[in-house]
Amino acid sequence: MNFGLAVWRFSVIVDRFIELFEIDVNTVKYNEVIDAVLEFQSQELLENFRSYHQKKANLRIVKKELNSGRSHLARIKTQKKDLRIDNNDL
């Protein structure tokens, strides 16, 4: 796996975040926000992950019907139709 890529899959983002921030996943506490949707209890951890994810993620707008049908492709190369969302866009 090439960690020099600017765009990573979500699982790679999570694994690298855990490694870089030296997180013991067995000690992380969560709050249930909405029916089985979890959020970190620690605001610092929450903000660190949001910031890290935003720097590494390449988000795509997809049709609901196609989303899970194409998930096996797990593309990590940027394509011209990709939309990059920055802080200014939020």
Structural domain of residue 22, as residue ranges? 10-81
Count: domains in the chain: 1
Residue 4, domain member (yes or no): no
Burial class, 8, CB count within 10 angstroms (exposed 0-12 / middle 13-18 / buried 19+): buried
Per-block mean pLDDT, blocks of 10 residues, the chain (90 long): 55 90 93 87 94 84 63 59 55
**pLDDT value for 9:** 79
**CA-to-CA distance for 12 and 85, rounded, in angstroms?**
19
The pLDDT assigned to 24 comes to: 94
The pLDDT value given to residue 89:
46
Residue 35, in any domain of the structure: yes
Structural domain includes residue 5: no
Residue found under tokens 């765009």: 7
